[in-house]
Amino acid sequence: MKSYQRASIALLVSIGFAAMLSLVPKLDRTVQIGGTDAPVFRADYALSLTDRNLVDLFVRYPLHLDISHVEWNDTILSVDLKSKPNETNSDPIYDDLYELARLGFAGTKNVKQLLIRVMEYSTTGSENPQLLLAMDAKRSDLSAGASKQTEMQTKETKEQFLSSHFSLTYTHKWLDRHRR
């Protein structure tokens, strides 16, 4: 009889643990969204950007392109990215522009303008870098539109989102390389 009681207690404890483990995913806020569309520029953990936390902020966000220069001046964040010579795939570049916009506007409270340049450096390093693409993004460009516009539509590409919300300037070199 004692072995029957021990087995019953072990079974009940096991069922209790299994039931508690099934509740763990519900504790995570990202799972509660349930796979539905979430705002792209939602400020859950926005912090005030300073010279002291600038590097820490960029270390948390891995990018496809290397960062050559970052400057924080009052409310303007300027970032220079290094593009690989003769790179023909523009998707990683738009991914990085999009992630930097998210970082600047959703990840911080005090960035009002984001200036990003994509530069191409020669393989030898002897020539000056050449500008390929520049983005001028203002926080007011996002808040000026309806709140629905700050959500990226599922059919909308990152390139379309960036082009519709921010000012993108392309050089002739970029246009020649990436014409579709």
- The full DSSP string for 24-71 is HHHHSHHHHTTT----TT--SS-B---TTTHHHHHHTS--SSEEEEEE
- Using a 10 angstrom Cβ sphere, with 0-12 exposed, 13-18 middle and 19 or more buried, the burial of residue 179 is exposed
User: What average pLDDT does the structure give for the chain?
Assistant: 80
Q: Is residue 19 part of a domain?
A: yes
Q: Is residue 41 part of a domain?
A: no
Kind and range of the H or E run holding 22? helix 2-27
Instruction: Give the pLDDT of residue 131.
Output: 92
Q: How far apart are the first and last CA of the chain?
A: 79
pLDDT in tens, 138-163: 988 876 553 444 455 555 788 888 99
Same domain for 91 and 61, yes or no, is yes
Q: 146 near 140, Cβ under 8 Å?
A: no
Instruction: Give the pLDDT of residue 171.
Output: 92
- Using a 10 angstrom Cβ sphere, with 0-12 exposed, 13-18 middle and 19 or more buried, the burial of residue 137 is buried
pLDDT in tens, 167-180: 999 999 888 887 75
Label residue 2 by pLDDT band (50, 70, 90): confident
Same domain for 22 and 62, yes or no, is no
Domain of residue 145 covers 54-178
| Alpha-carbon torsion angle 116, 78, 112, 95, nearest 10 | 30
Same domain for 17 and 86, yes or no, is no
